[in-house]
Chain A
Amino acid sequence: MSLSTHKVTSPVMGIFYRAPSPEEKPYVEIGQHVRASDVVCIIESMKVFTELRANQNGIVKRILVENEDPVMKNQDLIEIEIEA
């Protein structure tokens, strides 16, 4: 099972956002199908915003962090079940 999941991790200490702005809908929900090139969340660090992509085609299995919570460098954020 572990071989078929991919974890999106944070490249930097920062703040985790599920949506492009507080007024907008989250990029992804659990159970949603994503393509490798899809943006799945944003990390803000010191006013620099980095969009993180799924990097694998698959299904969003778990979202491991609450919106607007602080995250550490290399922390797991979103778990994606890779499509066979």
Chain B
Amino acid sequence: MKLKHRLPYRFKKIFVANRGEIALRIIRACREMEILSVAAFSDADRNSLPVKMADEAANIGSALSRKSYLNIENILKAAHDSGADAIHPGYGFLSENPLFAKACKEASIKFIGPSPECLAAAGDKSAAREKLKLLGIPIIPGSDGIIRSSDQAEQVSEEIGYPIIIKASGGGGGRGMRIVRGAHELPEALKTASGEARAAFGNPDVYIEKYFEKPRHIEVQILRDYFGNQIHLFERECSIQKRHQKLIEESPSPCVDVAFREKICETALKIAESIRYTNAGTIEFLVDQEKKFYFMEVNARIQVEHPVTEMVTGVDLVAEQIRIARGEALGLKQADIRLDGWALECRINAENPEDGFMPSPGTVRNLILPGGPGIRLDTHLFTGYDVPPYYDSLICKAIAWGKNRNEAISRMKRALHEFKIEGIHMTIPFHQEILTNHNFLKGEIHTQFLKEWKGL
């Protein structure tokens, strides 16, 4: 790639356009790199830990996300007023929004992430499918675009073979989704899926994909700089999911051997290269029971589960993001990246597992956080903190490292046992239950694990 205008920037101050544990994570990376940080906060987050820990803080609007963490104008104004030279978007909110990345560029503030064009390419799933198909990358067989008639639906389904799944073009989260196991079920399922999609997303468009029974979710972490240097940092397995929300992630994957790892990681790099990806990213794959993998999507951001990769490779991914955004060449070579031990992450949510996972905002009292060998906690909790109802329920990530999977699991169990909190409910008892499940312990997991076991 061309080197013009790629002289390293010197970031003096980074504006953190996010909240909660990931804001804290970014502020910590900044402090270690001797870069000043500014914590953006909404009215509901005035007393949050990121605000206390950053060098500066800037109000970006009222509590509702669309009036603060999703408000491009407010964020850019606050970033500009703070004198920051870069913005870290974290995950969620505006992190993968090409318009935001473009607005940052126009405001001469460096967006720490892929270019607007790259974000758009990663977000356009059907264009990505076309491109990757040409490159010979395995993709999930499907309709390559929206379904225009029931005849077409029938034809596509015959071609790829039942069972198939109908999905809404407009969004996810299970709505507008129907699994169809035979041609006789198709017309009715099309109608209901389309109706649900219209109600949920205001868009009745649906597409069809091959449906896999008990697949695994395996993803590959990559880093790629502006000079085309790229490395992967092995895989993460995120098959323990509740309604498409990941609950436990680990690296390495219990089902991946050396040959498979090499193949899936090489494929991930090929995909990154094909869209000229820059910064940290994740390539998600679905792996079927015959251990064939299929590309799902590119996550063009730092991910919630990045710490498991950090624990087994020793690489600080957020620091790498900042270095790449500054225009530095990757300081790491593929041969430098070694897989050491095993790491597990539990995403602890403020929800009551005894009451249908009802959200549980409120004031934290008598908090005791775990510690000890191999335990890392990424959390913005403290005693007296008011967990607001306005945002995601993720309030703590517990990460355990061990020499092997068993040791990592033992440490995680021990850490969750040490965790004490009053005032709000958390999903810890549910995690503890999973960690004693026989199949989980054997590493025999898949994305329908919790559905099969608990009906979730």
Contacts and interface: CB of A to CB of B under 8 A. Distances in A.
B391 interface: yes
A22 B351 CA distance: 27
B172 interface: no
Given A46-B359, A48-B359, A13 B64 contact: no
B350 A46 contact: yes
Interface string A49-67: 0000000000000000000
B391 A46 contact: yes
Interface string A19-47: 00010000000000000000000001111
Contacts of A68: 64
A30 to B, nearest CB: 24
Contacts of B358: 11-12
B392 to A, nearest CB: 6
Interface size, A (range): 10 to 19
Contact of B389 (A11, A22, A45): A45
Contacts of A14: 359, 361, 389
Given A13-B389, A14-B389, A70-B389, A45 B359 contact: yes
A77 to B, nearest CB: 15
Contacts of B389: 12-15, 44-46, 70
Interface string B390-404: 111100000000000
B11 to A, nearest CB: 32
A36 B66 CA distance: 32
Given A15-B64, A68-B64, A70-B63, A47 B361 contact: no
A25 B369 CA distance: 46
Contacts of A22: 66
B71 to A, nearest CB: 13
Interface string B227-239: 0000000000000
Nearest to B358: A12
A1 B282 CA distance: 61
Contacts of B362: 13
A14 B66 CA distance: 16
Interface string B379-412: 0000000000111110000000000000000000
Given A12-B358, A13-B361, A13-B362, A46 B64 contact: no
A14 B393 CA distance: 12
A15 B66 CA distance: 13
7 contacts: A12-B358, A15-B389, A22-B66, A45-B361, A46-B390, A46-B393, A48-B359
Given A12-B389, A45-B361, A47-B391, 8 more contacts: A12-B361, A14-B359, A14-B361, A15-B390, A22-B66, A46-B350, A46-B392, A47-B392
